[in-house]
Every structure is written in structure tokens, then in C-alpha cells.
Amino acid sequence: MTAPVAVALDAPDLATLERWARAVGPYVSTVKVGLQSFLRDGLGAVRTARDVSHRPVFLDLKLHDIPNTVAGAARSVAHLEPAFLTVHASGGADMVRAAVHELPSTQVTAVTVLTSLSGDDLDAVGLRGPALDAARRLAALAVDAGATAVVCSPHEVAAVRAEVGPDIVLITPGVRPAGAATGDQARVATPAQALADGADLLVVGRPVTGASDVAAAARSLAAELDALQPRH
């Protein structure tokens, strides 16, 4: 059984992405290709990640532009058939709706509030907070526009679940195994806490890919999460 984890393949080159994808594939449900790899390696990053891991790809581009441009961007990646494609909920309902229209077979995934942002950061950019209220508000807007998945921090996942109901996939970055460094994430939690609060898919990057043995780190995380599952 694979863990409900999307490993972020933010690799310095395509060869490293391939090595990481192959190492984590047996243990996790999803591999995530983000801007760093996609902008450098393009379609090859997605194809390599999927082909060597044998897992669905979460294409994390966080699109945020006028609806017409986002529609065009979504069309440009439709042939890659990503399982998930991220857009910023703050782009508005029409923008989210444009992506949904172009990608009927992909779960358009609305990013609410970046996990790197603190309350002071939200104030500075003029986003009405606190983060929990902003995340709930943006999640509801995106789901009403057709998004079927939402990204929020572990701190907001329980409130967002209550807001959007049981059928929306909740994805939580900012997940760190106990004792791991938080890096540039401001709102973090352990995998156990995120799942207990209602997350469906955990995004984990550096705690796995930064390990000396990437496969062992992924296997350990999968075992940790498997131990949390109720036994009948």
C-alpha cells in the first residue's frame, strides 16, 4: 500500500529528478513537478516523473493570470494529463472556472494561502486574514467555480474541510515529520496531525529528497503513515 503523499521533485537537474522519482515510486501515491523543474525541463519533467515512478503527476504551476491566459495555459498542458494542476484561488472564480473548462479530466486544484506566509505577511500584501479565514473564503470561492481539490496548510485543513464538505480533495503542504526542519514554511504540522484533521494528500519535499537515502526516507514515511491507519 502506498502512502497518501506527493513527493515534491524540486530537483537541480533532470537526472536527479529521475533518480528521486524512481526511488520514491514504490512508496508514495503521487509525484509532484513544480515550477523549478517544469521551467527548466518542460514536458520532459512530467513525462520522466511519471514514467519512472509509475505514479500520477501533480503539476504544481500555481497559475494566476486573467481567465483567457489561464485557459490557454491549461490547454497547453492538457495532453500531459496531469492528475492535479494548481491555480491560485485568489485569481478569482472566472479564472478557476476557465481552467476547469479546459481540463475536464484533471483535478483543478485551488491554492488558498501559501504556507510560507505568516499573519504579518498577509497584512503586508493586503489579504484579509487571519490565514484560517482567508483559506476558508478562498476555498469556498474555488469550489463554487468547479475546483475539485484545494491546497491549504495543515493549520487550516480542519476548517476548510468543514467549509467544502467531504468530496473535495484536500492537499496539505508544510508537512514535516517530527523533528524535521521547517525550512521556509511558516505553518507546519506532522503527517499524523494533518491526516487526523482531514487531509487527503500530503506534500512532502525536502524531508524525503534531502535525505542521504531518498528511498529509505520515503519508505520510512510510508510506514509511519501506514501505522496510523485503523486496523479491523
Q: Is 84 helix (H, G, I), strand (E, B) or coil?
A: strand
Q: Are strands 3-8 and 201-204 parallel, antiparallel or unpaired?
A: parallel
Most confident listed range (30-39, 115-124, 125-134, 197-206): 30-39
Could you report the per-residue pLDDT of 145-194, keeping only the tens digit for each? 999 999 998 889 999 999 999 999 999 987 755 555 545 445 456 788 88
Examine the residue annotation and report whether 32 is marked as an active-site residue of this protein.
no
Which of 19 and 176 is assigned the larger pLDDT? 19
- Asked if residue 17 has pLDDT above 90, the reply is yes
Q: Is 204 helix (H, G, I), strand (E, B) or coil?
A: strand
- Asked if residue 211 has pLDDT above 60, the reply is yes
Q: Work out whether the CA dihedral 17, 22, 24, 30 comes out positive or negative.
A: positive
Residue identified by cell 521556509 is: 184
Residue identified by cell 497559475 is: 63
Which of 139 and 193 is assigned the larger pLDDT? 139
Q: Work out whether the CA dihedral 94, 146, 155, 178 comes out positive or negative.
A: negative
pLDDT of residue 231: 52
- The predicted model gives 140-146 an average pLDDT of 98
Query: Taking Cα atoms as reference points, which of 161, 153, 150, 147 lies closest to residue 114?
Result: 153
- Asked if residue 232 has pLDDT above 60, the reply is no
User: Which is catalytic among the residues 40, 62, 101, 206?
Assistant: 62
Could you report the per-residue pLDDT of 78-111, keeping only the tens digit for each? 999 999 999 999 999 999 999 999 999 999 999 9
pLDDT of residue 177: 57
- Asked if residue 127 has pLDDT above 70, the reply is yes
- Asked if residue 31 has pLDDT above 80, the reply is yes
What pTM does this model have? 0.90
| Grid cell listed for 167 | 468530496
Distance CA 128, CA 137 (A): 10
